[in-house]
Amino acid sequence: MALIVSTKAEAGIVDVARRNGIPCQVIEERGDEFTRKLLGYIEENRIEMLALAGFMRILDAAVIHRLNGAVVNIHPSLLPRHGGKGMYGIHVHEAVVRAQDRTTGVTVHMVSDRYDEGEILAQRSIAVEPSDTAVSLQERVKRLEHEMYPKAISDHVRRLNSEGNSDQ
């Protein structure tokens, strides 16, 4: 079962869900109420894995533990560089430009109880051009994210399925 959960009714993913006939729930509440509703949807829909995208909140440990750690996230840098608290969105790209990094990229990783420190599943890099600003870099990294994330999730699910089958 697939389910899209958004924190904003006006998010583009809500329209994508409608156009593609994918069930979608919007949870605008925060804190414990958000966690309670999300856990309810996970149970109700028998969700086994959660893939975060553009998720700008701390995910409660109860959700991570309920899914046995099967929570994946994407980060717009080559972790562990430019990860951690406050490192999201344009802030990451500003840090890359400020540090005069020659490369940056995208990291797909498992979510743990610590910011951006879960197991790395996949990374892809791109060169930081001398003319890059945080905004131009963000656009190039975003294109890489859109290209990479679905494949990384698919590869991860395939690995999980093959590991599960090898136990039998």
The residues annotated with a catalytic role in the active site are 75
Q: Are 121 and 152 in contact (CB under 8 A)?
A: yes
Beta carbons of 9 and 26 less than 8 angstroms apart: yes
Strands 50-51 and 24-26: unpaired
Contact 105, 125 (CB under 8 A): yes
Helix H, strand E, coil C: the string for 70-119 is CEEEEECCCCCCCCCCCCCCHHHHHHHHHCCCCEEEEEEEECCCCCCCCC
Nearest partner of 156 among 64, 72, 46, judged by Cα: 72
